[in-house]
Chain A
Amino acid sequence: QQKVQQSPESLTVSEGAMASLNCTFSDGTSNNFRWYRQHSAKGLEVLVSIFSDGEKEEGRFTAHLNRANLHVSLHIREPQPSDSAVYLCAVSSSNTNKVVFGTGTRLQVLP
């Protein structure tokens, strides 16, 4: 059973400072990773998708994947107060149609 853990549980940064979020997963066959954002119990929006080791950038959002270490991270460059939300890591593998979400990191960006 896939386990996806995120850290930290909550993070406060000042506007303009880099925000870094972490996600670890347990299934080494996982090959599909996405970061989603959720504002105040609303629907989720995808930020960045990554499928191979290395880095993937989408605007101010950059994902880093290291499958050997079972780790994927999200870095938010120049965060703004409107980026305050819960960030969710989502992991799946080619042998399942199920996406498992992490526990979430609540980000607060102070002006």
Chain B
Amino acid sequence: DPKIIQKPKYLVAVTGSEKILICEQYLGHNAMYWYRQSAKKPLEFMFSYSYQKLMDNQTASSRFQPQSSKKNHLDLQITALKPDDSATYFCASSQATANTGQLYFGEGSKLTVL
């Protein structure tokens, strides 16, 4: 059974719309992350959360907003979508900080913006 669940697996959106990517982890981890992977770039760090608090943010745009309603949830809201946002978004978690524990990844949510 997958321990990190991402929903939806695939989604198509139109430019200017808003989408929420869901992530739940059942590993009992305290830290969660979002990464983005597109055809043009390597796997790119976006956010890290520890105990539901933002630790690090490398996303330039405020259109990307993580939301943590529970310790094992870290959703990603994306507003005013652009075609360049098309990518696979991976959620990950670790027991403690990423520097001490390995990352466990979900299978990703592939977003296509038309």
Contact = CB atoms under 8 A, between A and B. Distances in A.
Interface residues of A, number: 26
A41 B88 contact: yes
Nearest to A5: B42
A42 B99 contact: no
B67 interface: no
B98 A43 contact: no
A34 interface: yes
Given A41-B37, A44-B103, A46-B103, A99 B108 contact: no
A3 B13 CA distance: 32
> Interface residues of A: mostly helix, strand, loop or mixed?
strand
Contacts of B43: 44, 88, 101, 104
Contacts of B90: 43-44
B100 interface: yes
Interface string B89-111: 01000000111101101111010
A102 B44 CA distance: 9
B99 A97 contact: yes
Interface in B40-91: 42-45, 48, 50, 55-56, 58, 88, 90
B31 interface: yes
A46 B102 contact: yes
A97 B56 CA distance: 7
A99 B42 contact: no
Nearest to B90: A43
Contacts of A41: 37, 88, 108, 110
Interface string A87-107: 010101110111111111000
B39 to A, nearest CB: 10
A7 interface: no
A93 B108 contact: no
Task: Please provide the 10 A-B residue pairs with the shortest distance between their CB atoms, ordered closest to farther.
Answer: A43-B105, A101-B43, A43-B107, A44-B105, A103-B42, A99-B98, A92-B99, A97-B97, A97-B55, A46-B102
